[in-house]
Amino acid sequence: MSRSAARNIPLLAFAALGACVPVALSALKADFYLTQLTMSAWYTMVALGLCLLMGYAGQVSMGHAGFFSIGGYTAAVIATAGMPSWLSVPAGVAAAALIAFLVGIPVLRLKGHYLAMATLAFGFIVSRIILGTPLLGQADGISDIPAYHLVAGLAISGRRALRVQNFYLAWAVVFVGLVAAMNLVRSRSGRALRAIRGDEDAAAASGIDVARHKLAVFVLSAVYAGLAGACIAHFNGGIGPGEAGIMKSVRYVALVAAGGMANLWGTLGVSAVLTFLSLRGAFGLYDDAVFGALLVGIMLFAPSGVFTLIRKRVLGR
């Protein structure tokens, strides 16, 4: 079997698993899980984008909830203000990309602690602006966001009748996002990103345009986040300032860290499972604490992620 075919086996398995889940759930009369599974797909998009930025390019962002909310709030404002309804999601994505571009040019010159603190400040600013702006609903957020109609009866909406459809739609977007990210990682640009993570000066010396690559991956990860935010605003029919909180940004970082940083499959797996459990309320009052403990635990004992730890400890290789 050729190598490219071997690479595609996990993808096919992922697609098959995704296709089976709604069937299995409806057979078990448990299709109420679909709502949270759909939401966790959208959150997983954010984690995948952050995985490219943080895992592969080595640039930490403590402000990704900011891009998620920029996408979500832009879509929400457009959809509720009576503008053309097709515009909301593209505008949300474009707004996130534009702001990432503008913020990224100066901020990505920073490294290490400074970059972390600057992105943290960016996330804080976004959340404060949302809380202080009447147009964005302040503490109440924006509700009654209509469905987003795609082609031929497909719509991003939380209505019961569209539950299965939305599950497939969201995970199909994640699938496309995953394939795109994997292709990027394997490409010349992907190698450039890893070189930048290893040593920026060395990367620059080998002819890589460091600033440009960092900015490009920053904007791309904001596009993933903005798309997720815009879609989930339509899916939930509302968006609130909690989505922009620092804790949300930290959560995405935790998911990527637990997935093993430069590991798209790991991030996908950890994010799908943990986000679903969190949305189901499995962690109760300790929801945020679980993610904090996850961050500390993973970084102390298994900085290369849970899967590597399992492989080393359990399989012994």
Partner 1 sequence: MGAAQILQYLLSGVTTGSIYAIVGIGFTIIYNATGIINFAQGEFLMLGGMIAISLHGFLPLPQAIALAVVATGLCGVGVQLVFLSWLRRPDILRMIIITIGLSILIREAALHVWDEKVHALVYWTGDETSSLAVLGARISPQLLWVLGACALMVASLTLFFRYTLTGKAMRACASNATAARLCGIRLPWLVTLSFFLAAAMGALAGCVVSPMTQTQYDMGTSLAVKGFTCAVLGGLGSVGGAVAAGILVGVLESASISVLPLAFKDVVALTIMLAILLVRPQGLFAAIGRKTGPL
Of the ranges 15-23, 88-96, 131-139, 186-194, which one interacts with partner 1 (CB under 8 A)?
Answer: 131-139
Q: How many CA atoms lie within 13 A of 113 on its CB side?
A: 0
> Is residue 114 at the binding interface for partner 1, with CB under 8 A as the rule?
yes
Which of 91, 120, 170, 219 touches partner 1 by CB under 8 A? Answer: 120
Q: How many residues bind partner 1 (CB under 8 A)?
A: 45
Residue closer to partner 1 by CB (options 132, 146) is: 132
Q: Is 122 in the site for partner 1 (CB under 8 A)?
A: yes
Indicate which single residue of 20, 23, 24, 128 sits in contact with partner 1 (rule: CB under 8 A): 128
The smaller minimum CB distance to partner 1, of residues 7 and 111, is found at 111
**Which lies closer to partner 1 via its Cβ, residue 125 or residue 277?**
125
Q: Which of 3, 29, 82, 112 binds partner 1 (CB under 8 A)?
A: 112
- Decide: is 265 part of the binding site for partner 1 (CB under 8 A): no
The nearer residue to partner 1, 83 or 299, going by C-beta atoms, is: 299
User: What one-letter code names the amino acid at 137?
Assistant: G
The residue behind tokens 């203000």 is 81
Show the site string, 46-85: x = touches partner 1 by CB under 8 A, - = not.
--------x---x-x-x-----------------------
In this chain, which of 15, 125, 179, 180 binds partner 1, going by CB under 8 A? Answer: 125
- Provide, rounded to whole angstroms, the least separation between the CB of residue 196 and partner 1: 13
Query: Per CB under 8 A, which of residues 228..257 are in contact with partner 1?
Result: 246-247, 250, 253-254, 257
Positions in the binding site for partner 1 (CB under 8 A): 54, 58, 60, 62, 106-107, 109-118, 120-122, 124-125, 128-129, 131-132, 138, 246-247, 250, 253-254, 257, 285-286, 288-289, 291-296, 299-300, 303
